[in-house]
Structure 1
C-alpha cells in the first residue's frame, strides 16, 4: 500500500497548557518542546485547548455553551509562536467537579467543534498529558495519523484514582502510536498500573535550553532563589523557615521567591513574623525568560519539593551556571544521577527546615572547589538539551514503516 508522504513532517501539538498573557509560566515546558522540535519540521501547529471555568447556575450552563458555540468562529485564529510554529488558542468551557475523563471529553468535543468536524490535518500529532491532551488528540486525529503522548503531570495519582479516568487512560495507552514519560518515576507508576501496556511507555525528557550561560560565575552562595508554584507540595514554607535561620547567621543572605500560588499571602505574612521581609522578595508569576534572567543573577537555587516528577527549574538552574540545593523527591535524583555533588547538594525529604539548613551549610563548606558546574552543564545538555530531545522525537515521529525511508532519513538528519 502506498501513502502520500508530502505532509509527513507536518506536526500538530495538542496541549491543555501553553504560556499566555494571563499565565506566562503555564505550559512553558510545552513551549520549550515546540521550540526544540519545530526547526526539524515543515510545519508545526499548536492547539492550546484552555479550560475556562463557568460559574453559572446549572440551568444556565447549556445557554452559556450555546453562546460560546456561536462566538467560536469569531474568536478562533492562529498566531505565530516560537521557532516559526503557529498557535491556535481554543477556550473550553467547563464546570466545577468534572472528573479528568469528563474534562477530556469536553476538550475533545470543543476541538472537533473548532475544526468544523474535520480531523486535525497533520499526519503526526503529539499531545501533552494523557487525557486532556492524549484523548483529545486521538478523538480528532485523521485515520492515518501517528499519535504520540507525553506525560509529565505531577498529579497523575489523582487521575488514576478516578475509575472513569483510569479506564480512559488505558484506552489512550492502547490506541496511541507511542507514549513517553518524562522520568522513570512516571514510567514506573504507569507501568505498574497498566502492566499489559507497559511495553509502550518510553522515556523522553522535557527539553532544556543550554544556550544562555551566565555572564559571570557564581562566587558566593548568598542570593537564594526559588522558582515554582507556591503550594504545600513544593516545600516552600520550610524553605522560608530555613532561610530565616541561615540569615540569622549571615545577614547578607537574600531570598527571591518567583511564582504564583495559594500560599503567597501566608508566606509574606510569615516572612514579616520572622523579621526577614526586608530581604525576601516575592515576584509573583514570571515569564520563562524572566526566570532564566533571575537564575543568571542569583547564586543558589533552593528547591525543597515533597514530590517532583522531573523538576524543570533544577535543570534550568544548572544550565544557567547556578548550583542547586534540592530534595530527593522523585525526579531530581534521577535527572541529576551521577553529577549530584558536581552541581550542588541533595537532601532527603523531611518535614522540617533543619534538613535544608544542614544541606546549605554542607554545600557552602565545599563551595566552590567541591563542585564542577561546567561538567554538570555538559552532562545535562547531553541528557536534556534541545538537540538531544528533538532527535528523540524525530526518530519516533518520522521513522517506521508507515513513514517510509525518506522520512526516516530526514528525521535522523534534522
Structure 2
C-alpha cells in the first residue's frame, strides 16, 4: 500500500532518459492505488520501448522551470531521476512510492552491500546477489540488503556537476532511501546521483556519501558485512562497516582491467583489500587475475561461485525437438557478443526459416540490433525485449529452444546455469567463466565455441547442436551443476567465509561529509576541477 491518501493529485517527474522503466512502474503503482497521476516527462526516444499505464496522464515537459511549476502545484511530487531532483532543488518531494516513507534501516546480523539488485528500473540486475543472499536467509535472523542504486546523469563539465550536486542534496533532503521487506530480508534502496562515464573513484565516493546519509548512525550496523564488487560496494563497506565487523567481498566484475587502468583505482582497491577479511571470486580465472594484480593479498582470495536456486527453475515438460527458437538474456553490450550473435543468426536465417532470435535485456546496442534486423529483412524474427524479473526467466526459457550466449568476457555465466536448470540446451562461448561452469559437460549440455567475433564459429556450433540435440543428457547436466552451484552447496561456502572473526586491518577513510544546503556552485566547481585532474594524472 501507499501512504498517500487516495485520489491525491500526484506528479511524477522523469526528466532524464536513464530511469524510464522505473517511472513507468512507479506511476502504474500509484494509479493502481487510486491516485490521479501525471507523468511529466521529456520527449526522449528512450520512452519508445516503455509502456505507460493507461490510467496515467502523460504531460510533455520542455524545461526544468516548467517541471518546477508542476511540482509546486501538486499535492505530492515524486522526482524519479537525477535531472528531476535537480529541477526541484529545495522543494518537498519523494523518490518513489513506499508503504512506510519514514522507515529507516534497522540493525542486522548480516548486511549485504551492493550496487546492483532487482528493482523496478531493472528487474534483472543483481539477480546473482539476491541468489547468494537467499541461500543464507535461513541462517540469519536479520538480513539487511543495502542497495546503492546509481541514478546516472550526464557528467559534462561545470553544468553536469551543478546538476549532480543539486540532485545529491535534494535526494538527501527528501530522504534518499526507501526501506521495505522482501523474502530475503530488509531492503534499503538508496538513490545515488552519479556522473555517467565510468569514473570508478567517483562511483565509490558517491555511493559512500549517499549510504552514510541514509543510515541512522552513518555506519553499517552489522557484525558481518558482505559486499558485492570490490571497487564499488567493497570500498563503501570498507569505509562504513563497524571497526569490529567481519568484511567479506565478492568480486564478479568482467571489467577489472578497465578499472585498474584508471589513475588511483588500483591503490583504492588495495586499501579495500587491507580492510577486508576475505575476497571471494566467482571463478578461478577471476581469482588468478586478482592474484596477479595484488600478489601480497593472495591469502585473502578464495573461489566461491554464485548460488543458483535450482528449485526455483521448473524443468520443461519435454526437451526441445529442434533448436529453432534462440534466446539471449543479458545486457546488450559489445563485449557480450550480441552483434556477433545477430550476424550468425542472419547467416542462418535464409536456410533455416523456422529460426527466431529473442534478445531480452537493455543496453547501448538495442538500437543497433533493431537496425541490423531491419537491414537484413528480419524484423519480427529478431526481436529485442526489455529486461524481466528473475521470476519470469523460467517461462521465457520454456518458450524457447536454446539459450545463446556469445559473450567474449564472462566471470561466471549465471544464465547458462539457469537455462540448464530448466532443461534448456545452451549454445555458449567458452570465455573464462563459462569454461569453468561447463567443465566436463560440453557434450551433455549443448554446443560450445571459442570466444569470437566471427559469426561462422557460432554457425558451426549451431549445426553441431542441431545434429546431436537428441543425444544430449540435459538431466545429467542439471544434476552436475546443482551439486556445484546449488544453494545448499554455495551456502556452506558462504557461511565458512562469514565465520572466523575479524582481524583488525587498516581503516579506510571515507570522503568528508558534504553540505546539503546553499548554492551548489562552489562544490560543483571543486568537483569539476577534481575530475579534470583525475583524467590528466
User: Cα distance 1:402–1:349, how it changes in 2: closer, same or farther (>3 A)?
Assistant: closer
Tell me by how many angstroms 1:61 deviates: 4.5
2: CA distance between counterparts of 1:323 and 1:61? Answer: 46
2: CA distance between counterparts of 1:9 and 1:65? Answer: 27
State the secondary structure of the residue aligned to 1:196: helix
| Equivalent position of 1:298 in the other structure | 400
State the secondary structure of the residue aligned to 1:367: helix
| Equivalent position of 2:364 in the other structure | 262
**What whole-Å deviation, never above 9, does each CA across 1:351-406 have from its counterpart, x for those lacking one?**
2211111111111111211x211111011001111111111111221x32569xxx
State the secondary structure of the residue aligned to 2:432: coil
Whether the 8 Å contact between 2:277 and 2:502 is mirrored in structure 1 is no
* Cα root mean square deviation, aligned: 2.1
2: CA distance between counterparts of 1:70 and 1:163? Answer: 33
Tell me whether 1:277 sits opposite 2:379 in the alignment.
yes
User: Cα distance 1:12–1:314, how it changes in 2: closer, same or farther (>3 A)?
Assistant: same
Whether the 8 Å contact between 1:181 and 1:203 is mirrored in structure 2 is yes
State the secondary structure of the residue aligned to 2:310: coil
1: CA distance between counterparts of 2:438 and 2:201? Answer: 34
TM-score (norm 1): 0.90
Whether the 8 Å contact between 2:251 and 2:281 is mirrored in structure 1 is yes
Tell me whether 1:374 sits opposite 2:374 in the alignment.
no
| Equivalent position of 2:518 in the other structure | none
Tell me whether 1:46 sits opposite 2:145 in the alignment.
yes
Tell me whether 1:16 sits opposite 2:115 in the alignment.
yes
Whether the 8 Å contact between 2:249 and 2:280 is mirrored in structure 1 is yes
**What whole-Å deviation, never above 9, does each CA across 1:114-134 have from its counterpart, x for those lacking one?**
124442111111000002111
2: CA distance between counterparts of 1:304 and 1:96? Answer: 26
2: CA distance between counterparts of 1:46 and 1:383? Answer: 25
User: Cα distance 1:98–1:316, how it changes in 2: closer, same or farther (>3 A)?
Assistant: closer
**Unaligned segments of structure 1, at least 5 residues:** 1-6, 404-414
| Equivalent position of 2:352 in the other structure | 250
| Equivalent position of 1:100 in the other structure | 200
| Equivalent position of 1:339 in the other structure | 441
182-191 or 47-56, larger mean C-alpha shift: 47-56
Alignment length (residue pairs): 392
User: Cα distance 1:90–1:375, how it changes in 2: closer, same or farther (>3 A)?
Assistant: same
2: CA distance between counterparts of 1:19 and 1:124? Answer: 22
Whether the 8 Å contact between 1:137 and 1:147 is mirrored in structure 2 is yes
Tell me whether 1:169 sits opposite 2:272 in the alignment.
no
State the secondary structure of the residue aligned to 2:147: strand
State the secondary structure of the residue aligned to 1:305: coil
Tell me by how many angstroms 1:256 deviates: 1.3
| Equivalent position of 1:31 in the other structure | 130
1: CA distance between counterparts of 2:443 and 2:268? Answer: 42
Within a 5 Å distance, the mapping from 1:349-360 to structure 2 comes to: 349-360=451-462
Tell me whether 1:385 sits opposite 2:497 in the alignment.
no
Which is bigger in relative contact order (C-alpha 8 A, separation at least 6)? 1
| Equivalent position of 1:68 in the other structure | 171
Tell me by how many angstroms 1:225 deviates: 1.0
2: CA distance between counterparts of 1:254 and 1:76? Answer: 42
**What whole-Å deviation, never above 9, does each CA across 1:62-84 have from its counterpart, x for those lacking one?**
44433333222xx534201233x
User: Cα distance 1:237–1:76, how it changes in 2: closer, same or farther (>3 A)?
Assistant: closer
2: CA distance between counterparts of 1:254 and 1:10? Answer: 48
User: Cα distance 1:265–1:77, how it changes in 2: closer, same or farther (>3 A)?
Assistant: closer
| Equivalent position of 1:135 in the other structure | 235
Tell me by how many angstroms 1:342 deviates: 1.0
2: CA distance between counterparts of 1:59 and 1:281? Answer: 39
Which has the higher Rg, Structure 1 or Structure 2? 2
Tell me by how many angstroms 1:9 deviates: 8.2
| Equivalent position of 1:407 in the other structure | none
Tell me by how many angstroms 1:102 deviates: 2.8
Tell me by how many angstroms 1:318 deviates: 0.8
State the secondary structure of the residue aligned to 2:350: helix
1: CA distance between counterparts of 2:269 and 2:479? Answer: 36
Tell me whether 1:156 sits opposite 2:256 in the alignment.
yes
Tell me by how many angstroms 1:158 deviates: 1.2
| Equivalent position of 1:394 in the other structure | 495
1: CA distance between counterparts of 2:161 and 2:221? Answer: 36
TM-score (norm 2): 0.70
Tell me whether 1:80 sits opposite 2:181 in the alignment.
yes
2: CA distance between counterparts of 1:111 and 1:246? Answer: 50
Tell me whether 1:146 sits opposite 2:240 in the alignment.
no
2: CA distance between counterparts of 1:259 and 1:49? Answer: 21
**Unaligned segments of structure 2, at least 5 residues:** 1-105, 504-537
- Off by >4 Å, runs of 4+ in structure 1: 54-57
1: CA distance between counterparts of 2:454 and 2:396? Answer: 27
Tell me by how many angstroms 1:272 deviates: 2.1
1: CA distance between counterparts of 2:340 and 2:392? Answer: 25
